Chains A and B, each alone.
Chain A
């Protein structure tokens, strides 16, 4: 017959067996990333190539750009890979990062329902389109989460002289969640939304939605990479992190990015300045 102590020991042993670190003593780095690159599937394409070449495992934590920067400020990552240039430059200027380098770009698009209640489909003028959405009080789903896309969206409204947050809760709806969740909400509500093109192409729940506005210069979306400062964060794996950054910016890395396609379309365009 089992005694309580035996039972307790069994639980404990089981717990420890489960909890013991299973991961091999493999070399790895942690990349704090925006969600669009992960949702589009870029890492599933790039990381196996990199691992094959170097044996280093890259662990990606994909959160909004705002949160990724905060996590990196807390030293919870070795490399920051996001898309909000002003915030990234501030990150470096404040000593949290070493240097910032352009990696690649794509563009933002405004997607909307086939019914097009604001009549903006086919437009190349972002400001005009936003103006008409406000006039029509057509629903617009915003990320509202301090992400790179959210920052870009707010900048576009500002450039158009509109303060949409005054109508928050009316036609302007801040979801406070990630790109995918916001697109799901937009499709559900029949609302327009700003998204990066890669996320849109990879998105699987488009419904009747299509791209309404694209091609404006101001819709440019630059991705940058930064090594978290080992001076600020002694635990940062500076050498391994820098090695990954160097590879991303190298000819090999840049062409790997260019090779990545979904539904036959290239999603990210390499534009590193070195090499």
Chain B
């Protein structure tokens, strides 16, 4: 199909031209995605570890809810965040709507359940191995959680990558709360949506190819970091 050939051509032409708008859009995509994942990790890592280690009534229900939230529809999250941040909404005074901050918040909400749920699984497995040792040592709850998170760090990098993947390719939430404003909140995915709606299909596909390349690059960097660091801690 000729669209694919044209798309690859467009992608390479765009990259080679070093188009300033494209670089700006890529930069904002990365900034929003990384910030959202960092925010989600701040919440999701301790929360997931607490769910893994904790023994309290309703724990299974909480785990089930978190697992289910991994499937949150982005449009619903976008709408919820829009209603919160809208000038007519409870957080309207912050004037965050149509800013990158709003996009970061929406994506953090999308990514946090993924980080939490996968962290819970990873930490629970490790906890099975460490539980008796740490209890025999008299480690308190917080020290146990910190130990498990640190020792699971390489598995948790994969968890962060899963979140990164979700955020980087997401369009439904950020187009609602960001507004796809040129030079302000326009990122890779919203540009692809816009070019598709303009009927510029090969340009849209070309941008998509660049986005996939970007995802590959980020994953490759993290996995490279992981394997060289992991060699220091594992057999």
Contact = CB atoms under 8 A, between A and B. Distances in A.
B199 A180 contact: yes
A19 B104 contact: yes
A39 B35 CA distance: 30
Contact of A59 (B32, B98, B201): B98
Interface residues of A, number: 42
B92 interface: yes
B201 A204 contact: yes
A61 B179 contact: yes
Contacts of B180: 61-62
Interface stretch (B55-63, B146-154, B218-226): B146-154
B185 to A, nearest CB: 8
Given A19-B104, A23-B184, A61-B180, A204 B89 contact: no
Contact of A8 (B32, B42, B101, B199): B42
B92 A75 contact: yes
Interface residues of B, number: 38
A4 B150 contact: yes
B135 interface: no
Contacts of A74: 86-89
B99 A18 contact: no
A49 interface: no
B19 to A, nearest CB: 14
B191 to A, nearest CB: 12
A39 B198 contact: yes
A40 to B, nearest CB: 9
A42 to B, nearest CB: 12
A111 to B, nearest CB: 12
A44 B198 CA distance: 14
A14 interface: yes
A235 B87 contact: yes
A216 to B, nearest CB: 25
Contacts of B88: 73-76
Given A59-B179, A181-B196, A204-B201, A15 B38 contact: yes
Contacts of B197: 35, 39, 178-181, 184
A233 B87 contact: yes
Q: For B101, B104, B182, B203, which residue has the most chain A Cβ atoms within 10 angstroms?
A: B182
Contact of B198 (A4, A22, A204): A204
Given A21-B101, A59-B184, A15 B35 contact: yes
Chain A binding surface, main DSSP class: helix
A30 B146 contact: no
Interface string A73-93: 111100000000000000000
A7 interface: yes
B181 interface: yes
A162 to B, nearest CB: 28
B201 A76 contact: no
Interface string A159-184: 00000000000000000001111011
A184 B87 contact: no
A76 to B, nearest CB: 5
A180 B87 contact: no
B64 interface: no
Interface in B181-209: 181-182, 184, 194, 196-201, 203
B158 to A, nearest CB: 15
Contact of B200 (A7, A38, A181, A205): A205
B199 A75 contact: no
Interface string B89-125: 1001001011111001000000000000000000000
Interface in A29-52: 30, 35, 38-39, 43-44
Contact of A7 (B31, B153, B181): B153
Interface string B22-39: 000000000110110011
10 contacts: A4-B149, A8-B45, A18-B35, A18-B38, A22-B100, A30-B98, A30-B181, A59-B98, A179-B197, A202-B198
Given A19-B104, A204-B201, 12 more contacts: A12-B42, A14-B35, A14-B38, A18-B31, A18-B32, A22-B31, A74-B86, A74-B89, A76-B88, A179-B197, A180-B199, A233-B87
Interface of A: 3-5, 7-8, 11-12, 14-15, 18-19, 21-23, 30, 35, 38-39, 43-44, 59-62, 71, 73-76, 178-181, 183-184, 202-206, 233, 235
- 5 closest A-B pairs by beta carbon, nearest first, are A180-B197, A205-B199, A15-B38, A75-B87, A61-B179
